[in-house]
Amino acid sequence: MSLVIVGSLAFDTIETPLVRRERIVGGSGTYCALAASAFTKPKVVGIIGRDFPRKMLSAMAARGIDLAGVSMKAGKTFHWEGRYGTDPNQRTTVRTDLNVFARFKPVLPPSFRSADILYLANIDPDLHGPLLAQARKPKLVAMDTIRFWIETKREAVFRELGRVDVYFANDEEVKLLAGEANLIRAGRKLLEAGPSLIVVKKGEHGALLLGRDFVFGILARPCEDVVDPTGAGDSFAGGFLGYLDRVRRFTGREFRRAAVYGSVMASFAIESFGVERLLSLGEEDVEARFREFKSLVSF
């Protein structure tokens, strides 16, 4: 099996009530790929400027990530700035400088076209169509999106739901996109638009899998010290899809286990600024935390 991730590789400026970090490496594609690399060898499609650190590319490659789909262009790398309040679930986007990302015309290298799982991370929804046209019958297509795209290209985001199997979103985005205040009703409305599964991420409250005929809930790992919540959603998707790519089965049981691995990877992502913690993870760290999640809900 193979997992192809199309997403942003970015510089993030992050402000929490205690600390401000300028231009650290982030991006939906970066977080997702690093999380998925705990399970499989993901392939990444993205765009960076000449200012993107070579050291980070080497570190990603060392974790088995195939970067053949990442192109470097003259200009600056995408830059996003976010601010968190005392409640880490509340985030404000201060600025989004698309830079070279505005010219992103993603191309799947030939070895990427037979992807079994294609993940359209947080990218311009108008890029989905051209990307899907390059892929040869993926078994599972998933997408995510962020408030920025829902607010600027709402119709396109809605339309794209009709082409995917799994939609990852946080609870606020599900309600915003559906125009419904009740989360379950909002989720049902989005399911009607196409996907067979919606993965609703609820920050410190865990996640909910909403299918047409099943619902599954998972707690987030209790954490007293959330250092930087950025990338939790992308890491969740990376753990979820990386695990599915490894087990090669799309059954209800595996979706549930994938949700636990997604939560495991999100719990690591928030322990450090940027992708630092994900870069140092070993298999035993992941399995030990999986067991912790199991004991959290067994009674």
Rounded to a whole number of angstroms, the minimum distance from the CB of residue 199 to ligand AMP is: 12
x/- string (CB under 6 A) for ligand AMP, residues 10-49?
x-x-------------xxx---------------------
Rounded to a whole number of angstroms, the minimum distance from the CB of residue 136 to ligand AMP is: 26
Residues 3, 242 contacting (CB under 8 angstroms) = yes
* The only residue of 2, 13, 89, 96 in contact with ligand AMP, by rule CB under 6 A: 96
* The only residue of 146, 164, 199, 244 in contact with ligand AMP, by rule CB under 6 A: 146
Rounded to a whole number of angstroms, the minimum distance from the CB of residue 263 to ligand AMP is: 13
Number of residues engaging ligand AMP in binding (CB under 6 A) = 17
**Interface with ligand AMP, residue 106, by CB under 6 A:** no
Q: Which is nearer to ligand AMP, 152 or 182 (CB)?
A: 152
Question: Which residues from 220-279 bind ligand AMP, rule CB under 6 A?
Answer: 230-234
**Interface with ligand AMP, residue 8, by CB under 6 A:** yes
Residue 215's region, left for phi above 0, alpha for psi from -120 to 50, else beta, is: beta
Q: Which is nearer to ligand AMP, 40 or 77 (CB)?
A: 77
Distance CA 286, CA 241 (A): 15
Rounded to a whole number of angstroms, the minimum distance from the CB of residue 168 to ligand AMP is: 9
**Interface with ligand AMP, residue 52, by CB under 6 A:** no
DSSP per-residue codes, 197-262: EEEEE-GGG-EEEEESS-EEEEPPPP-S--S--TTHHHHHHHHHHHHHHHH----HHHHHHHHHHH
Rounded to a whole number of angstroms, the minimum distance from the CB of residue 183 to ligand AMP is: 17
- Look at residues 279, 253, 243 and name the one whose alpha carbon lies nearest to residue 142: 243
Q: Which is nearer to ligand AMP, 7 or 195 (CB)?
A: 7
Residue 103 has a CB neighbour count (10 Å cut-off) of 10
Q: Which segments of the chain are extended strands (E)?
A: 3-6, 10-15, 20-26, 43-49, 66-73, 78-84, 91-97, 117-120, 140-144, 166-170, 197-201, 207-211, 215-218
Residues in contact with ligand AMP by the rule CB under 6 A = 8, 10, 12, 26-28, 80, 96, 122-123, 146, 148, 230-234
